[in-house]
Structure formats: C-alpha cells, structure tokens
Amino acid sequence: MSEYNNKDLAAFKDVWVFCEQRQGNLMPTDFELISEARRLADELGCKLYGLLLGGEGIGAKAKELAGFGADGIIVCEHPLLETYTTDGYTKVIVDTVKERKPEVVLFGATNIGRDLGPRCAARLHTGLCADCTHLDVDVPGYQQFLRGASTLDEARIGGLDTALVMGQKHDVSHDLKMTRPAFGGHLMATIICPRFRPAMATVRPGVMKKAPFDEAKANAAEIIKENVVLAESDFETKVLSVEKAAKKLVDLVGAEYIVSVGRGIAKDVDLGIKLGQQLADELHGVLGGSRVVIDSGWLSADHQVGQTGKTVHPKVYVALGISGAIQHKAGMQDSEMIIAVNTNPSAPMFEIADYGIVGDLFKVTPMLIEAIREIKANK
C-alpha cells in the first residue's frame, strides 16, 4: 500500500459512491447518488466510481450501477461481505480508500450508510457531513443555489467563494460544499472539509434525482476487482441470521401516487385515515401523513413526509387537511403535481398546489374517490 497522508490533498482524486446492496439487491439510493455524483465528478474534472461490496457474484450488478453515469465500479467480493456488518464493511472500505485515495466518498443516509459512513470517516481521520440534502463543487452553481434557497443578500453570496479556515482565507473552488438542515430545520448549513481528504457525506434518500439508465455507459464502464483482505479475526460480531420485520413498511420514496393526511382529519381520525387510504388505493398509491399525524399516533412513523420524515417526488401528491408548513413542503414540493384540499383558502399549501380545492376533506375526498371510480368504469 502506498503511503497514506490524509492532508496531502493533491494525492486524492475521483468521486466514489458507496453502493448499498441487501441480499444482492441494489438500493434506490445507489442510482440517485451515482446520478448526482456524475455532476460533482464533472465539476471536479475527475472520474466517478461506484464502490460495491458483497458476497461472491455481487460483481454481476456492477454494470447496472454504471448505467446511471459511473466511469467504473470497484467491486469488493468476499464471502464475509455477503451480509452487512459494520466491522467487515468498514475494514474493506478503509483499506480501499487508503489504497486508491478518492477525493470524495458519498453514502446514502440509510440505516447502513449512517452506521458505516461515520465509522469510516473516523478511521480515516477525515470529516463527514451527515444527512445532506444538496451538494456542489462549482462555486457559481453553489451561489445560484443560494439565490433560490436562502435569504442571504447578494453581497454575502458573492463573498462565499472563500471561507475562513484556521484564520486564513481559503479558496473553496475545489471543496465539496455539503448542505444540510441544521438547528432543527430552522437553518440550512453548508459544510466543507478543507484540510483532510476524502470529504465524506451521507445523503438523504429520495432527494437526488435519478438519471435515465444509459446502456452505452453501462457497457463502457471499467469494472475493477479489488483484492479483499478479510478474516474472521477482523470481526467483533457475528451475524447468526437475518430476520425480516413481519410488518411491511410503507414505500413512500418509491411511490408514484401519494395521498397524505394532516391534522384536518382530527374531528374523525378513523374516517379521515380510511378516506385517505381509499383514495390512495384507487390511485394505486400509498398513504402518507404530516408530522402531527405521526406524533399523535394516528399513523406509524414510516408514513411521515417532510424534513424529518421522507422526501418524496411522486407523479401526484394529494394533501388532505395539511396546512403546508415549511417542514412538510421540504419533503414534497418537488412532486410533479400537487392537489390540496383544505377548508382554509389561505393555507400555504395552496401556494404550491397545481389544483386547490377549498372544502371539507370529509366531503371532498368521497367525491374524488367516486370520480376516479367513474373514470375507471368508463374506460
């Protein structure tokens, strides 16, 4: 292994995405992150690699990943990597980073990514920004993002091509700018890792848009088989079996149609949820909820949409009795079409709705269900 010095910034190049698999199946965040990281690699003028760990045969999934924009996939195959373990995955990733020295490493902020990313960062003695919702390298692009997403004035934005690092003015044009909600979502913070490499981040699932699959890119990708050194003695823990939770969780992130209910159902919670579910079923979609609905125990946490819940971009998002607080909008405002039902004509949800119905959800929802049934019957 060549000498490893995490302060020798010039020795590090390329962007990596840790590609999570469970029982040999790739995760949706892999495709989102590869798609987004393509832009970052282009801005840095370097290559993009997926890092895929798994048991024997996992390399067969490499081309599928590359089709979303990677120049290559680094495959680490080993029987001891078949099932995720913190010990095994951390060791192999740290070894591979030390060997190949990427400049940026991204993980999905999934349960596995949140466990693995910080541990790798600590072992590599570098920085990690958790739960990012936006990433940039290019300074003009970052400044343009701030113009739309922040309340900073032009003079302040203009000055953000540099940052004060250890008392010195530092040019940020080559740093990954990692933006995430801070202080309970009341502020957005942008964080850089100017003194160490690689810069590491976990990225919220569902936030980055997946690029279309490109067969030519998939076929052109370089597949690198890494020599994995791993033994039973590297493990503090042993996985005896993997038991899937009996309860099926709601897949909000992958849903094309979502009907969400808010506090507006309060006067008859059971009926409100039943109507929301019926409308979702008619659309072949799923039921979501605002945080109030989750905190009140009316729906389980996997239904929550918003800043502290799931970020979604379905084809259609129906908001029943949801006011449209900024933290709720943060999770659904990129939906292709938004339909809002609310008794209050001034509800902020109407500001972003494509179709707004001012009315009582207990009257309007049965009418929507009926209308859809009629359309189906006439087809």
Ligand X SMILES: Cc1cc2nc3c(=O)[nH]c(=O)nc-3n(C[C@H](O)[C@H](O)[C@H](O)COP(=O)(O)OP(=O)(O)OC[C@H]3O[C@@H](n4cnc5c(N)ncnc54)[C@H](O)[C@@H]3O)c2cc1C
Quick one: which of 13, 38, 197, 328 contacts ligand X (CB under 6 A)? 328
Q: Per rule CB under 6 A, is residue 198 in the interface with ligand X?
A: no
**342 makes contact with ligand X (CB under 6 A):** yes
Which amino acid, residue 74? Answer: I
Q: What part of residues 32-91 is at the interface with ligand X (CB under 6 A)?
A: none
Decide if residue 311 touches ligand X (CB under 6 A).
no
Task: Name which position in 321, 338, 339, 350 contacts ligand X (CB under 6 A).
Answer: 321
Whether residue 265 contacts residue 320, with contact meaning beta carbons closer than 8 Å, is answered with yes
Interaction between residue 264 and ligand X (CB under 6 A): yes
Q: 96 or 260, CB closer to ligand X?
A: 260
Answer yes or no whether residue 347 interacts with ligand X by CB under 6 A. yes
Residue 365 as a binder of ligand X (CB under 6 A): the answer is no
Of 325, 352, 369, 372, the residue at the interface with ligand X (CB under 6 A) is 325
Comparison of 118 and 359: residue with beta carbon closer to ligand X: 359
**Residue 144 or 344 with smaller CB distance to ligand X:** 344
| Least spacing, CB of residue 292 vs ligand X, in Å | 4
Q: Which is nearer to ligand X, 121 or 252 (CB)?
A: 252
- The number of residues that bind ligand X (CB under 6 A) is 29
Asked if residue 262 binds ligand X (CB under 6 A), the reply is: yes
- Least separation in angstroms between CB 325 and ligand X: 4
- CB nearer to ligand X: give 198 or 289: 289
Binding residues among 229-248 for ligand X as defined by CB under 6 A: none
Residues between 290 and 309 with contacts to ligand X, criterion CB under 6 A: 290-292, 304-309
SS3 string, the chain, reads CCCCCCCCHHHCCCEEEEECEECCEECHHHHHHHHHHHHHHHHHCCCEEEEEEECCCHHHHHHHHHCCCCCEEEEEECHHHCCCCHHHHHHHHHHHHHHHCCCEEEEECCHHHHHHHHHHHHHCCCCEEEEECEEECCHHHHHHHHHHHCCCCHHHHHHHHEEEECCEEEECCCCCEEEEEEHHHCEEEEECCCCCCCEEEEECCCCCCCCCCCHHHHHHCEEEECCCCCCHHHCCCCCCCCCCCCCCCCCCCCCCEEEEECHHHHHHHHHHHHHHHHHHHHCCCEEEECHHHHHCCCCCHHHEECCCCECCCCCEEEEECCCCCHHHHCCCCCCCEEEEEECCCCCCHHHHCCEEEECCHHHHHHHHHHHHHHHHHHC
Q: Which residue is nearest to ligand X (CB)?
A: 306
Q: Of 83 and 277, which CB lies nearer to ligand X in the complex structure?
A: 277
Pick one of 85, 311, 323, 335: the residue that binds ligand X (CB under 6 A): 323
Binding residues for ligand X, per CB under 6 A? 184-185, 262-264, 290-292, 304-309, 321-323, 325, 327-328, 331, 341-344, 347, 360-362
